[in-house]
Amino acid sequence: MTAPQLRDEELIRLFLSTHQNEYFETIYHRYVNKVYRRCYSLTKCTAKAEDYTQDIFLRVHANLNGFKERSSFSTWLYSISYNYCMDQIRLNHRLNTVTIDEDMAHTIADEGDAEFHEEQLQTLQLAIQTISTDEVTLLRLKYEQDLDIKEIAKQYNLKDSAVKMRLKRTRDKLRTQYTYRLDF
């Protein structure tokens, strides 16, 4: 039988014994859209659903030997998907209770009078309102709470490179919005 014709459990056993990626890829292709839809139904955000789907499959790949066949693979996968999404939602909710701190504005502000600083703070707050709460939370963890990349990655259950990329994209987006508002 070829990989696409095998049952999930058979593919897992073959992957664990041979470490040939084609077996895991078959499982991935069978379930990636279902996991994405599950994530999207919980988050209502395309970007989060995409990120979470990727994170879930990385976890499944790393912990596939934890599948004990007490239930079907799809049940196990959906359980991981649901729990991961709910953990991320709870984490984001907890971290979003932090308020915008004027100290953040002072790190961005140039020297000048109080009126100029107030104007920059207002511009920054407007720019922050245009990015998602997850992006704001990520910036706050890095710059207000002074967490390093490894600590943030651990909190989000992500790789360091994923956190760095999300931070870069968020900073770029915020910089664009901030600059755009300064021009008006």
Domain end position, chosen among 95, 116, 147: 95
Domain shared by 173 and 115, yes or no: yes
Whether residues 13 and 89 share a domain: the answer is: yes
- 114 and 137 fall within a common domain: yes
Residue 172's domain spans which residues? 102-182
* 134 token code pair: 């997850």
pLDDT at 142: 83
Alpha helices in 63-182 (DSSP H): 73-95, 102-108, 114-129, 133-139, 149-156, 160-182
The CATH code of the domain that includes 168 is: 1.10.10.10
- The CATH number of residue 8's host domain is 1.10.1740.10
Check if the beta carbon of residue 105 is closer than 8 Å to that of residue 134. no
Q: Are residues 147 and 80 in the same domain?
A: no
- pLDDT of res. 152: 87
Half-sphere exposure of residue 121: CA atoms within 13 angstroms, side-chain side: 14
Q: Which of 52, 67, 95 is the last residue of a domain?
A: 95
Closest residue by Cα to residue 182 from 121, 113, 97, 93: 121
Long-range pairs for 113-119 at CB < 8 Å and ≥24 separation?
none
pLDDT at 99 over 50: no
- Over residues 100-111, the pLDDT tens digits come to 444 444 455 444
Considering 40, 67, 95, which residue would you say is the last residue of a domain? 95
pLDDT top residue among 177 and 30: 30
The Cα–Cα gap between 59 and 87 comes to 14
85 with 115, same domain: the answer is no
Q: Tell me how many domains the chain contains.
A: 2
**115-140 pLDDT per residue, tens:** 766 777 777 788 888 888 888 888 88
